Amino acid sequence: MTDMVEESPLHRLERLLLEDKSDELVAFIEGLNSHEVVHLMSHLKRDEQTELLIRLTPENAASLMEELPEQQAAEIVEDMEAADAAAILNEMPSDEQTDILWELESDEAEAILSFMDPEEAADVRRLIDFDPDTAGGLMITEYLSFPVNMKVGQVIDELRRRKEEYAKLHIKYLYINKLDGTFSGVLQIQDLLMSDYGTPISEIIIPDVITVPMDYQLDLLIDFFHTHDFYGVPVVDAHHKMHGVVLRKDVLEALADQASYEHLESQGIVGGEELRTMPLLQRAKNRLSWLSINILLNLIAASVIAFHQDTLSSVIALAVFLPIISDMSGCSGNQAVAVSMRELSIGAVKSGEALRVWMQEIGVGLINGLTLGLLIGLAAFVWKGSLMLGLVVGGALAINTIVAVSLGGTVPLLLKHRGIDPALASGPILTTVTDMAGFFLALTFASIAISHLSGL
C-alpha cells in the first residue's frame, strides 16, 4: 500500500508529458470527456499544448481538437509547425477543418494546406470561400453517392466490398445522382434492406428531396430543421450538382453557439468569444473597444445633469435618486429587449412589427412604472418627509419606465429592420436614451417644484 495522495488530472497530464510514456498519455486523453479536455487544455501553457498534440496520434489529436472552441483550436494550430498541424487536420471532418483554417491568416492557412492530403486540401480550398454561417460553410463533404441506374444488389455489394473504407462514414443515407451528375434523391439504408436485389434503386429512392443552395443562411437552416425532422439536407450548386450535406446536429450546435454569442455581445464581449487563455492585451483591448463607446454615451447622458446643476445644488437629495432612476430604467428596458430578442429568434414577431410590440409593452410599462414609481416615491417621502420630493422622483421613474420598456421592446426590431445587429446595439442605445430622459424628467420636475424642495 502506498500513501500517495490522489493526483489531479492536470498534474497527471503534466507528469505524462515529462515522462516518455506515449501509450499512457493516449489512454489518459481518450478517457476524458469533452469538458475535461477543454478544462485541461485551458490550464496548459501554449508549448505544453503543442507538445501534447504532437505526442498523440494524429487521430487522437484531431478528436481532442474537435472538443475545443474554434478560436482556441485555431490559436494552437497557429503556433504549431505547419506539417504537424496538417497531419492533425487531415483527420478532421471537412466542416471542422474549414472552421479552424477560416480563423487563421491566409498565408498560415496556405502553409498548412500545402502539407495536407491533396484531396482533403482541395476540399477545404473549395469550402473555405464560403461564409461559415451558410450551407456551404456548414456542410460536410464526407458522404456516399451512387448513380441512379444501379440496382439494390449492386449497391449492397459495393457497400460490402468497401466496408472498411466506409466505416467512418455515416452510411444510413445514400445520395443518388443522375447520370449527368445532378442530384436525384436520397436512398435510406432500410429501403435497401426491404427490397429485392434486382430492384432498380430508382424505384425506392425518395425523389423529391428538398435541397438547399450553397449560400443558404444559418437562420434559414435552423428554421428548416425545425420544420423538417431530417437527419441532414443535401447542398447543391446552381446546376443542381450536389456538393455536401448539412447535418441537423451541426445546425443545432451552431444555433446553441449563436444564442451564446448573442448573450456575450449584449454584455459587451464583441467580435467572437473571449477565453481567458487569450493574451491579456488582446482581451483588455477587445473589452475596451466597447467600453470606450459606452463612456462617451454616458458622458452625453450625464450632460443633462450638468445643465441642471442649479436645481441639483438646491435639492441635493436628488443626487441620491438619479443613479437609481438610471439603473432601474435600464433594468426595465433590458427586460423588454430580452423578450424582443427571444421573440425575434423564434419568429413570434417580425422586425417590421415595432408598432404592435409597442402596444404590447405600453401596458407593462404603465403597471410596472406606477409600481416602481410608488415604491421609490415612498422611499423618498419616508427619508426626507417631503411629499413633493416623493412625487418628483416617483413621477420621473414612473414615466421613464414607460419610456424604457417602449424603447426596449421596439429598438431591437427597428435595428434589425435596418440591418444592424440588435444584440450589440440595443443595450447602449437604450441606456443612453433612458438615462437622458430620466435625468431630464427628474430635474425638470424638480425645477418646477423648486419652491417646495429647496434645501432637501
* Interacting residues with its own copies between 112 and 131 (CB under 8 A): none
Query: Of the candidates 94, 211, 351, 360, which one interacts with its own copies according to CB under 8 A?
Result: 360
Distance CA 187, CA 37 (A): 37
* CB contact set of 189 (below 8 Å; sequence gap of 6+): 171, 172, 173, 174
Query: Rounded distance, CA 15 to CA 21, Å?
Result: 10
With CB under 8 A as the rule, give the number of residues binding its own copies.
110
Q: Is 290 in the site for its own copies (CB under 8 A)?
A: yes
Residue of 109, 192, 354, 402 interacting with its own copies (CB under 8 A): 192
Query: Any contact of residue 204 with its own copies (CB under 8 A)?
Result: no
Q: Which is nearer to its own copies, 109 or 400 (CB)?
A: 400
- Identify the residue among 158, 237, 274, 421 touching its own copies (CB under 8 A): 274
- Tell me which of 81, 203, 215, 327 binds its own copies, using CB under 8 A: 327
If binding is defined by CB under 8 A, does position 111 make contact with its own copies?
Answer: no
Tell me how far CA of residue 65 lies from CA of 30, 34, 56, 85, 177, in angstroms.
12, 10, 11, 11, 34
Instruction: Work out whether 209 is an interface residue with its own copies (CB under 8 A).
Output: no
* 95 contributes a contact to its own copies by CB under 8 A: no
Residue 8 found at the interface with its own copies (CB under 8 A): no
253 touches its own copies (CB under 8 A):
yes
| The one among 12, 17, 48, 69 contacting its own copies by CB under 8 A | 69
Smallest distance, its own copies to C-beta of residue 137, A: 18
Q: Which is nearer to its own copies, 241 or 285 (CB)?
A: 285
Residues of span 223-252 touching its own copies by CB under 8 A: 223-224, 226-227, 248-249, 252
Give the integer Cα–Cα distance in Å for 374 and 379: 9
Measured CA distances, 29 to 37, 239, 286 (Å) = 8, 45, 33
* Site for its own copies, residues 395 to 434, rule: CB under 8 A: 431
Shortest distance, CB of residue 202 to its own copies, whole angstroms? 19
Distances in whole angstroms, Cα of residue 14 to Cα of each of 50, 65, 77: 13, 18, 20
**Rounded distance between C-alpha atoms, residue 145 and residue 187, angstroms:** 9
Give Cα separations from 235 to 133, 210, 251 (angstroms). Answer: 14, 9, 13
**Listed residue (58, 2, 60, 1) closest to 28, CA to CA:** 60
Determine if 367 is a binding residue for its own copies (CB under 8 A). yes
